[in-house]
């Protein structure tokens, strides 16, 4: 299952395929590298979380299920388990920080892609028509239960409303 960020990034990559400049190739490569680094760090974080959980389970096993824990278990095994748990926690925190850095880097590359796609669209389609913002589909309708709705358009500089009655047919 793909996250929304991943879907947006893939869409931007597909949009960039319509440009054949060297800048596009460089940007696509940088974005792919940043995504790859982020996924690698996320997998490392997952591994460290599993190792930490296993060390906690190992210490719990020694504490709860082994009779005479302090006397029966060798001290070196307990020390190894504790050192492994502490090391995995430190690595988990380090990877979390590195994941935040790579996440920001992916966000920056994604923004660069948006800017390049905007330039590409402007070069192919011209400048966008400026005007009032498009109304939100959910916020621009009022209506009743009889199947009729009224579309509400705000005027840009005034507070007057234009109400246009529409019916579903």
Question: What span, in angstroms and rounded, lies between the C-alpha atoms of 12 and 18?
Answer: 11
pLDDT digits (tens, 9 = 90+) for 121-161: 888 887 877 777 766 655 555 554 454 544 444 444 444 44
3-class DSSP assignment, residue 20: coil
For position 34, what pLDDT does the model report? 92
Give residues with Cβ within 8 angstroms of 112, minimum separation 6. Answer: 27, 30, 31
pLDDT digits (tens, 9 = 90+) for 157-168: 444 444 454 544
Residues 66 and 121 both lie in one domain? yes
Q: Which domain holds residue 140?
A: 132-169
pLDDT at 102 over 60: yes
3-class DSSP assignment, residue 167: strand
Residues 73 and 97 both lie in one domain? yes
Residues 36 and 73 both lie in one domain? yes
Q: How many domains does the chain have?
A: 2
Query: How much is the mean pLDDT over the chain?
Result: 78
With bands split at pLDDT 50, 70 and 90, how would you rate the model's confidence at 78? confident
Residues 69 and 110 both lie in one domain? yes
* Two structure tokens written together for 168: 């579903």
Count CB neighbours of 110 within 10 A. Answer: 18
Residues 121 and 140 both lie in one domain? no
Residues 143 and 88 both lie in one domain? no
With bands split at pLDDT 50, 70 and 90, how would you rate the model's confidence at 69? low
């Amino acid at each position: 299952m793909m996250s929304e960020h991943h879907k947006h990034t893939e869409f931007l990559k597909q949009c960039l395929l319509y440009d054949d400049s060297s800048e596009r190739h460089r940007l696509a490569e940088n974005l792919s590298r940043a995504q790859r680094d982020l996924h690698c760090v996320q997998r490392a974080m997952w591994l460290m979380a599993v190792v930490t959980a296993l060390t906690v389970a190992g210490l719990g096993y020694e504490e709860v299920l082994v009779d005479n824990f302090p006397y029966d278990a060798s001290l070196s095994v307990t020390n190894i388990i504790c050192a492994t748990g502490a090391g995995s926690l430190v690595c988990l925190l380090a990877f979390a920080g590195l994941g935040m850095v790579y996440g920001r880097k992916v966000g920056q590359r994604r923004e660069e892609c948006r800017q390049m796609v905007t330039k590409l669209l402007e070069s192919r389609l011209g400048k966008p028509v400026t005007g009032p913002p498009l109304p939100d589909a959910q916020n621009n309708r009022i209506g009743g239960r009889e199947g009729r709705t009224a579309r509400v358009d705000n005027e840009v500089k005034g507070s007057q409303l234009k109400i246009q009655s529409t019916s579903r047919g």
